[in-house]
Amino acid sequence: MIYPLLRWTESDVWQFLHEQGLPTNPCYKQTGRVGCMFCPFSNKKQIDYYETQYPKFKERLLQSLTVFWERYNEHELESPEQYYEWWKTKQSLKEYRAKQAQTTMNFEP
């Protein structure tokens, strides 16, 4: 088997595309990478972009999460939406809950 791009860096790929005058996917300008929408490896910027550009896809994802949440709510999150918001942060559940607790604390004078 031959893997011609195996040792290429990202710079090598961009240089090759530029030298050959090949068009590139416009999503690279928006998200910095192209892959599956809502990929587990996506960062928050990419996810936010997909949310605004493809709201129906997000809606379908939440429907799937609802099924998952109803069957396997092992993390004991309050809703599928909260599960989705936690997933977007890429934090551990412990980190996410700590941050949520900080932002929802009521301080009385």
Residues contacting residue 84 through CB under 8 Å, at least 6 positions apart: 61, 62, 65
Token duo for residue 99: 């941050």
Model-level pTM?
0.59
The H or E element that residue 46 is part of is helix 44-53
Q: Comparing C-alpha atoms, which of 46, 24, 44 is closest to residue 35?
A: 46
Mean pLDDT of 51-63: 88
For helices 80-89 and 55-72, give the axis angle rounded to 10 degrees. Answer: 110
User: Which tens digits make up the pLDDT trace of 16-51?
Assistant: 999 999 998 887 877 777 777 777 777 788 888 888
